[in-house]
Structure 1
Amino acid sequence: MTRGRLLIFIGVLFIVSAILHVMPLWIVVLAPIWSTPVKVAGIVILCVGALAMPILMIFGHGQKRDLPALIGDVWLGAVWQFFVWSVICEFVGFIAWAFGADHGARERYVALACVVIVAGLLAGGAITALGRVGIRHVTIRLDRLPQEFDGRTIAHITDTHLSLALGERWMTRIVQQVNSLSPDIVCHTGDLADGDVARRTDAVSALGEIRAPLGRFYITGNHEYLSDAAYWVAHMRKLGWTVLQNAHAMVRIGEANLAMVGINDLTAPGNDAASDRPDIDKAVQGIPAGTRTVLLAHQPKQVRDAVHQELDLQLSGHTHGGQIWPFHYLVRAEQGALSGLSRPGPSTQLYISRGTGFWGPPFRIGAPPEIALITLRRA
């Protein structure tokens, strides 16, 4: 990034931070009739937060410093919810005023409602994000699936985003959950870890303990290209995982075959062997006609490649199911779908996981994490 673009980016970050803090400042602190010490404390907290949040995120994420990044992310999640709910509560308060509610009482009730709602959502969102990950059982029927694969299972994990908050203990717990399902195949569809590679290696290494008799398959997501994609590719291979980079691998049961296909993320820069641009034509080259196919692609919108090649099933992550409402609507608009099973093509199905971990703010509101256990069935 050039110096000019960097300055523009930093400037935009501070402007966005100011906007996010203005509404809570007005609705929660200034408009209600509070005592002077309460108002002064609220003004100081929000003004300091508006300046500190971008600095913490730039220093934390930009310099790969765990603690500043985590503090900045927590504040971002909190102030985003305060921004959203201050707008909603003010709208409801305006309706109450239109029906004759006392102005002073209305302002206080709006502020208190906003604080109570946000506090509850953040507490619940933190428990959901950091607690036990749920198992999502999904049955997918494929035309002409060989009898030998009928009833076989695929455990799908994605977006683990290993970090200071999601470390080795958390990853070990995920591995234990996956192994308890006794899947035939395990897939990880990218965004393995965030931050300093040296700090995440031990946590990622827990993935070496996952058991899957028919194979373990991994592809890169966009976040691998923010750290060291080549390192993670080499490390996952060292752990015994098959890394699919614009390539496929055949899973065989007797004479029956299932092709596991993987393509790189759309953000791959193409500057080294681990960072080739996504190439679906290269990935499927050599697959015998009539073979059923499962494509691993990090972003759901890469399904256009699957439809073009008439592949049977695509597994994706990336969306986190929106992670924190109301981001759901923005993510759906950008990716075309949010989570779950859909059929974007005549012969192509798409399953989008809500993700196993989280990125940024340690909250999940309206989008619980998941480990998907997919059972393949003959249509």
Structure 2
Amino acid sequence: MLRSAFFLRLISIVILLHVYIGARLIPALPVGSPFKWGAAALLVLSVLLIPLGMAARNIKQQPLSDLLAWTGYLVMGFFSSLLVLTALRDIALLVLLAVNSLRGNSAAADVISASAACVPVLAVALTLLGVYNARRNAPVKIIDVPIAGLAAALNGFSIVQITDIHIGPTIKRGYVEKIVATVNGLKADLIAVTGDVVDGTVPQLAADARPLGGLSARHGTFFVTGNHEYYAGADNWVAEFRRLGFKVLMNEHVIVNHDGAQAIVAGVTDYGAGSHDPAHASDPAKAMRGAPEDILFRLLLAHQPRSAAAASAAGFTLQLSGHTHGGQFLPWNFFIRLQQPFVHGLDRLNDLWVYTSRGTGYWGPPIRLAAPSEITFLRLVAAPPIA
């Protein structure tokens, strides 16, 4: 019932935003332009396709379900660009109106008309660019993390992080196989998978997720749950990932022995997991419980960056997170900080390093703009002594 009410509110907002775009662009098109009726028809079609794409997962028939999802998500991405560009056009026209008023001039009708025609053209171009960025194989991003007091044997210890793949209606087995091939080619000491791997149930997506069982690293592949695992049946996915050979860490740690040195590798369930299952409540302190105090390097895998405050208090050295997608595409890049302390990249909180990945896949619209996907290759390096 609550989900239905939310969906209805969301559709209402989407309709109002389409009305805003239509009201601002269509009347401004040249008089007698054949594109006016076409633009109106496309906006009506967009209003229908976006909610249909979002609801496509409830349609069991394939390939219809995936086709509707692809179509709806593409239209959603185009609509987002169209909305942003329409708003930017209005701001630019207001500035132009103010300048012209000061000069005693009137706003040029040809500027208003030309700008209205340019908005959908630019929106199409941005959508195509975003699809290219999202669908290409995620590039490798190399990060050196300076660690004070790092054991000599751990200098150069490598971790490959993948996160937020979101296997689902638009990300399938072939996409996953490319990720696995790239990761294995890096020959890391450890692989960290920090949640949101899937957007669907085990029966729906097990075949597409199966290539992940081929991930290979000296000390194995470690996994923690993200919020999307809980939307899709976390217990079943935990069992499936264990079957694929992942070492699933649920508020617990293991000790890794590497060339005579030791490191603590811990993981917590998603920050909001407790609202889905109280037994899964995220707890960095619990993950550290019983760990030897003489092991100085302590790694925490936590899906959301906002686990960092508790991780710092628990004495971790480095936290690897995802969840944010770096915003994925404009304008959402600017809103992430309203929910998360870190958006992307390497940050510091007290004595804790936090690395937030932009994600290896994408969610929803197959679009990335100003927020490229990544496969992250992290190397531990000894921090120079403080003078």
**TM-score when scaled to structure 2?**
0.91
Aligned partner letter, 1:93: L
| 1:225/1:268 contact within 8 Å kept | yes
Overall identity of the aligned pairs, in %: 31
Is residue 2:216 matched to residue 1:211?
yes
| 2:275/2:281 contact within 8 Å kept | yes
Give the match for residue 18 of structure 2. 21
| 2:137/2:175 contact within 8 Å kept | no
Give the match for residue 90 of structure 1. 90
Of the three residues 256, 263, 279, the one matched with 1:258 is 263
Is residue 2:7 matched to residue 1:10?
yes
Of the three residues 19, 35, 39, the one matched with 1:38 is 35
| 2:18/2:47 contact within 8 Å kept | yes
| 1:318/1:355 contact within 8 Å kept | yes
Give the match for residue 207 of structure 2. 202
Q: Distance in 1 between matches of 2:189 and 2:182?
A: 14
Q: Distance in 1 between matches of 2:22 and 2:275?
A: 45
Is residue 2:366 matched to residue 1:353?
no
Give the match for residue 110 of structure 1. 115
Give the match for residue 45 of structure 2. 48
1:367–1:34 CA distance, 2 compared to 1 (3 A): farther
SS of 2:43's equivalent in the other structure is helix
Structure 1 residue 68: Cα displacement: 2.6
SS of 2:273's equivalent in the other structure is coil
1:123–1:55 CA distance, 2 compared to 1 (3 A): closer
For each residue in 1:298-324, what CA deviation from the matched residue of structure 2 results, as whole angstroms up to 9, or x when unmatched? 000110111111210000000000001
For each residue in 1:122-145, what CA deviation from the matched residue of structure 2 results, as whole angstroms up to 9, or x when unmatched? 111100000121111000011122
Q: Distance in 2 between matches of 1:271 and 1:137?
A: 35
Structure 1 residue 8: Cα displacement: 2.7
The within-5 A match list for 1:169-180 is 169-180=174-185
For each residue in 1:305-349, what CA deviation from the matched residue of structure 2 results, as whole angstroms up to 9, or x when unmatched? 11111210000000000001110111122102110001012x101
Structure 1 residue 51: Cα displacement: 3.8
What is the number of residues matched between the two proteins?
A: 373
Q: Distance in 2 between matches of 1:11 and 1:348?
A: 42
Aligned partner letter, 1:378: A
Q: Distance in 2 between matches of 1:263 and 1:170?
A: 27
| 1:53/1:76 contact within 8 Å kept | yes
Structure 1 residue 272: Cα displacement: 5.9
Give the match for residue 79 of structure 2. 79
| 2:319/2:355 contact within 8 Å kept | yes
Q: Distance in 2 between matches of 1:206 and 1:6?
A: 33
Is residue 2:346 matched to residue 1:341?
yes
Aligned partner letter, 2:20: M
| 1:321/1:367 contact within 8 Å kept | yes
| 2:336/2:343 contact within 8 Å kept | yes
Structure 1 residue 271: Cα displacement: 6.3
The within-5 A match list for 1:173-322 is 173-269=178-274, 276-291=280-295, 292-322=297-327
Structure 1 residue 27: Cα displacement: 2.8
| 2:22/2:43 contact within 8 Å kept | yes
Aligned partner letter, 2:140: I
Structure 1 residue 279: Cα displacement: 1.7
| 1:320/1:358 contact within 8 Å kept | yes
Q: Distance in 1 between matches of 2:259 and 2:44?
A: 66
Structure 1 residue 353: Cα displacement: 0.2
For each residue in 1:263-309, what CA deviation from the matched residue of structure 2 results, as whole angstroms up to 9, or x when unmatched? 00022146669x61112222111111132101000000110111111
Q: Distance in 1 between matches of 2:110 and 2:28?
A: 11
Aligned partner letter, 2:362: F
1:332–1:271 CA distance, 2 compared to 1 (3 A): closer
Structure 1 residue 34: Cα displacement: 4.1
For each residue in 1:157-206, what CA deviation from the matched residue of structure 2 results, as whole angstroms up to 9, or x when unmatched? 00000123211111100011111111111000000111243231122111
Aligned partner letter, 1:323: Q
Is residue 2:124 matched to residue 1:127?
no
SS of 1:335's equivalent in the other structure is coil
| 2:29/2:36 contact within 8 Å kept | no
Q: Distance in 1 between matches of 2:251 and 2:109?
A: 63
| 1:90/1:110 contact within 8 Å kept | no
Q: Distance in 2 between matches of 1:254 and 1:117?
A: 55
Aligned partner letter, 2:304: Q
1:237–1:33 CA distance, 2 compared to 1 (3 A): same
| 2:134/2:373 contact within 8 Å kept | yes
Q: Distance in 2 between matches of 1:164 and 1:146?
A: 45
Give the match for residue 368 of structure 2. 364
- Root-mean-square deviation (CA), in Å? 1.9
Q: Distance in 1 between matches of 2:340 and 2:277?
A: 27
Unmatched runs of 5 consecutive residues or more in structure 1: none
For each residue in 1:15-43, what CA deviation from the matched residue of structure 2 results, as whole angstroms up to 9, or x when unmatched? 22113212321233222224254222221
SS of 2:44's equivalent in the other structure is helix
Q: Distance in 2 between matches of 1:333 and 1:201?
A: 34
Aligned partner letter, 1:165: T
| 1:66/1:195 contact within 8 Å kept | no
Give the match for residue 146 of structure 2. 141
| 1:20/1:79 contact within 8 Å kept | no
